Amino acid sequence: MYNSVLVCEEQAPVLNMCYNLDHTGIWTTTWNSDIKQWKLPKMNADKTANSQQHASNLSLNEQQPAAAFNTAEEKCIKGGNAIEKYAVLNDKRFMVTRDTDQNIAIY
């Protein structure tokens, strides 16, 4: 039987997850270009045994949605705006872009 814990709840689809250096948390990246660190719960043997027994006593229809361990991230590295639209100009030397913040730029 596997032990699982809902660690966090992101607002956008998760692209990647990895442990931090000391394995006390995880880093997540999502479509919104932010990188967030979430703290992992410390699991001991008693808590694991109790959760297994409780889960085995519930039928599939009785199981309630799990509450996330974290309600807010521990750290957040804000990402930049993503380019939504672009067009190559007629001279083929310049390009016009529009990002998610509706900024227009010429490259």
Residue entry with tokens 């660690």: 7
pLDDT band at 25 (very low <50, low <70, confident <90, very high): very high
In the predicted model, is pLDDT for residue 107 greater than 90?
A: yes
Establish if 7 belongs to a structural domain: no
- DSSP annotation of 45 reads H
Global model pTM greater than 0.85: no
Establish if 90 belongs to a structural domain: no
In the predicted model, is pLDDT for residue 106 greater than 90?
A: yes
Establish if 107 belongs to a structural domain: no
Give the count of domains, the chain. 1
Establish if 2 belongs to a structural domain: no
What's the mean pLDDT when you consider all of the chain? 80
Establish if 58 belongs to a structural domain: yes
Query: What secondary structure does DSSP assign to 76-104, as a single string?
Result: EE---PPEEEEEE-TTSS-EEEEETT--E
How far is it, in rounded angstroms, from Cα 37 to Cα 74? 5
Q: Which domain holds residue 74?
A: 14-79
The helix or strand, by DSSP H or E, that contains position 34, with its residue range, turns out to be: none
Establish if 28 belongs to a structural domain: yes
